[in-house]
Amino acid sequence: MNMATKEVKINSADLTKLRELTGAGMMDCKSALVEAGGDLKAAQDVIRKKGLDIAKKKSTREAREGQILSYIHAGGKLGVLVEINCESDFVAKNENFQTFARDIAMQIAAGHPLYVSSADIPPADLEREKSVFLEQVKDKPEPVRSKIIDGKLMKRYEEICLLNQKFIKDDSRTVQDLLTEFIAKIGENIIIRRFVRFEVGGN
């Protein structure tokens, strides 16, 4: 590892950029750049992978603190309430937590999701979606049919499930990516529990 560190020259501009993109610490960014051979995009993938591992480990920990935050847009014609949980009151009052929560509320306002994740979709609604897709591909061979339906379901999840949506500030990441990276950065389990979206004249 020490030999690899000497062989790979780290560009300070790339190091700064990686920190801005991921929110990871200086040493984590340096290590990721070394592992990625100085490739900035590959280093982002390294940090995301490590963040995913950290998030998985923390996902079993209870998150009973947190806040309910509001976001009002379009001159009071569109509003969002979202509950985001964490493990400690200290984190709930942290500026980074507030920024993350505001980004999530803005995402809900713009993306109009119906559920937090695909696991929240009622079974009857999911079966109804599948039956519609099945009707559309009924003339296709079975192996092809299954793949097409799976693809259509994933596309539908991107439309109606918050965690599957492309992040409005960076469409190279999903909201799940954003959440995973934030968990790794903050060091606590974070859960987007529920939300409600109000729009004047909407249903």
Domain harbouring 36, CATH code: 1.10.8.10
Query: Both 37 and 104 in a single domain?
Result: no
Query: Both 145 and 170 in a single domain?
Result: no
pLDDT digits (tens, 9 = 90+) for 187-197: 888 999 999 99
Query: Both 138 and 54 in a single domain?
Result: no
Query: Both 98 and 38 in a single domain?
Result: no
CA atoms within 13 A on the CB side of 31: 10
Range of the domain at 30: 2-58
Query: Both 170 and 111 in a single domain?
Result: yes
Query: Both 52 and 82 in a single domain?
Result: no
Question: Per the structure, how many domains does the chain have?
Answer: 3
- Residue 52 pLDDT exceeds 70: no
Is residue 18 within 8 A of residue 24, CB to CB? The reply is yes
Note the pLDDT of residue 5: 40
Q: Which of 58, 86, 105 is the last residue of a domain?
A: 58
pTM: 0.69
Query: Both 188 and 96 in a single domain?
Result: yes
Structure tokens at 133: 């897709």
Residues 81, 105: Cα–Cα separation, whole Å = 7
Query: Both 155 and 168 in a single domain?
Result: no
pLDDT digits (tens, 9 = 90+) for 139-168: 888 778 888 888 888 999 999 999 999 999
Query: Both 69 and 44 in a single domain?
Result: no
Structure tokens at 89: 């009151």
